[in-house]
Amino acid sequence: MSTHDAGRQATRRRTPAEEARTLVSSMSVAALASTDSGGAPWCSLAVYGPTLDGDPVLLVSTESEHGRNLLGDPRASVAINDPSVPGDPLDRPRITLSGAVVRPEGRRYEDALDAHCAAIPGARLYAAWEDQLLCVLEVQRVRWDGGFAATQALTRDEYRHAEPDPTARAAAKIAAQLNKDQPDGLLAVARELAGARGAVSAFCTGIDRYGIDLSCTGAGQSAAARALFDEPLQAAADLRPAALELVRRARSAGAA
Amino acid sequence: MSTHDAGRQATRRRTPAEEARTLVSSMSVAALASTDSGGAPWCSLAVYGPTLDGDPVLLVSTESEHGRNLLGDPRASVAINDPSVPGDPLDRPRITLSGAVVRPEGRRYEDALDAHCAAIPGARLYAAWEDQLLCVLEVQRVRWDGGFAATQALTRDEYRHAEPDPTARAAAKIAAQLNKDQPDGLLAVARELAGARGAVSAFCTGIDRYGIDLSCTGAGQSAAARALFDEPLQAAADLRPAALELVRRARSAGAA
């Protein structure tokens, strides 16, 4: 790999659209804005599972306020964030999706129900009850806010065509494992593969399908560094083997 | 105390309106539903601090989508829940407030700013910036959902006149401390003051200004029990002394 390639590749991370799709796929609780018969907004809690296009599939009771609202005016918006992210909530990555809900029929009903129940397995028990309204929020507008005032609109197509990171659900656990059992290995990765030659310790702050983020210390300073996997990973189960392969590569580079 | 009094008092707990006010006072992050110029709903994350009447004071940027929406149509709704409550999110206590935002002036501006900054201290740094809109959601309608489908409308006055539980912010910590350092004392409370004569162990599952909830086991079964303080507590600092006073009372009843 040329130096040019290394520099280009080392910055590779999830795009805003991929971050957005990953967040929506990682969560199953949203705030829902609907409109009552007088045109006033109404905010409520709702659970969802996303379709393959990232459209949230909601299951609401027609006897609830938001259910009645959606029957009267299909326009809706959901806001999703991960409340477990520590720190200032306004620095937390979050997304707003807006559009209108449709009630799928036939095969599309089955697909939407599957998408909802993949996130909310218990819903299969009551989805067929008479008062339950299964509806798909067909997303027209997307606003992604990556935190720290990095807000931007995404087009519908950017959002729909981006892929959620399939490794996201295991990332925190694998990062914690690596910090526990591979401190020397992470240091080798930092020094040999992430350009932090003078590092004396390295701590994994994040891991995703493209690579691993490290916080390195050395000479009384700390700095962020990143090392990339050879190829984007396709499954959560690939995270740890890929990280260990980076460690192996770093050690053989160090020994050379 | 007569048996009748004990029975009546032992059921005393926060009313739905007090639960609602306590939840709103305990949190500072809400989902906000506003309406765009075309009448479509928009859902977003917002931070707030409540006034003494329980009206959320919001501080939003007029350059943000929800800020522009509120300038165009003051009707708004917020949904608040505590995402740290474990278990099914639809069983989580939550609230929707709806009404219209007003922009307070003069002394009312200062009071509203104080209410916001009591919850969001950092806001004092930027509240005066030109793009910042401080507004009070004057609550007209309240829907409280205590979880497990226990949803109910509260009148504006029920909501306004209820008092948030002043001990709530310390409750989880004090309960954990009692479970750690007072297992025998809690068992005495369960047996002597909460009617669980046959209990062989007791675990504090909750504590509030009115009393303490216990989960008791004995004879291979478990059951909930509750013991009450003599008077409703007025501050978080009173929780532990009040619990230890119950332990003292239980031990002297047991020794008698």
Tokens linked to A221: 């300073």
**Does residue B24 sit in helix, strand or coil?**
helix
Per the CB < 8 A criterion, the answer to whether A101 and A68 are in contact is no
Tokens linked to A135: 């509806």
Chain A hits for B41, Cβ within 8 Å: 33-35, 41-42, 75-77, 98
Q: Which of A43, A75, A143 sits opposite B31 (nearest CB)?
A: A43
CB contact burial B170-185 (16+ within 10 A = b; e otherwise): bbeebbeebeeebeeb
Question: Shortest Cα distance from A122 to chain B (angstroms)?
Answer: 10
Question: Shortest Cα distance from A81 to chain B (angstroms)?
Answer: 8
| Separation between Cα atoms, residue A169 and residue A192, nearest integer Å | 28
What's the distance, CA A105 to chain centroid? 29
Asked if B89 lies within 8 A of A29 by C-beta distance, the reply is yes
Per-residue pLDDT band for B148 (boundaries 50, 70, 90) equals low
- The pLDDT of residue B140: 95
Exposure of B169 in the CB half-sphere (CA atoms within 13 A): 12
- The pLDDT of residue A4: 41
Angstrom CA distances, A167 to A14, A15, A101, B146, stand at 12, 15, 29, 35
Chain A hits for B33, Cβ within 8 Å: 31, 33-34, 41-43, 77
Give the mean pLDDT of B126-133.
92
Asked if B90 lies within 8 A of A28 by C-beta distance, the reply is no
- The pLDDT of residue A7: 44
- The pLDDT of residue B147: 72
Asked if A41 lies within 8 A of B94 by C-beta distance, the reply is no
Per the CB < 8 A criterion, the answer to whether A44 and A32 are in contact is yes
- pLDDT value at B163 more than 60: yes
- The pLDDT of residue B7: 44
- The pLDDT of residue A211: 96
Chain B hits for A67, Cβ within 8 Å: none
Q: Give the range among A204-208, B8-12, B90-94, B237-241 with minimum mean pLDDT.
A: B8-12
pLDDT one-digit tens code per residue, B77-92: 999 999 888 888 888 8
- The pLDDT of residue B22: 96
| Separation between Cα atoms, residue B179 and residue B23, nearest integer Å | 24
Question: Shortest Cα distance from B47 to chain A (angstroms)?
Answer: 8
Asked if A43 lies within 8 A of B75 by C-beta distance, the reply is no
Per the CB < 8 A criterion, the answer to whether A56 and A97 are in contact is yes
- The pLDDT of residue A3: 40
Q: Which residues of chain A have pLDDT under 50?
A: 1-9
Phi then psi dihedrals of residue A160, to 5 deg: -65, -35
Query: What one-character DSSP code corresponds to residue B18?
Result: H
Cβ-Cβ contacts under 8 Å for B179 (sequence gap 6 or more): B186, B203, B204
DSSP annotation string for chain A: --HHHHHHHHT----HHHHHHHHHHH--EEEEEEE-TTS-EEEEEEEEEE-TTSPEEEEEETTSHHHHHHHH--EEEEEEE-TTS-S-GGGS-EEEEEEEEE---THHHHHHHHHHHHH-GGGGGTTTSTTEEEEEEEEEEEEEE-STT-EEEE-HHHHHHS---TTHHHHHHHHHHHHHH-HHHHHHHHHHHSS-TT-SEEEEEEE-SSEEEEEEEETTEEEEEEEE-SS---SGGGHHHHHHHHHHHHHHHHH-
Burial (CB count <10 Å: 0-12, 13-18, 19+), residue A86: exposed
B4, amino acid identity = H
Angstrom CA distances, A33 to A49, A192, B82, B154, stand at 17, 50, 18, 20
- pLDDT value at B8 more than 50: no
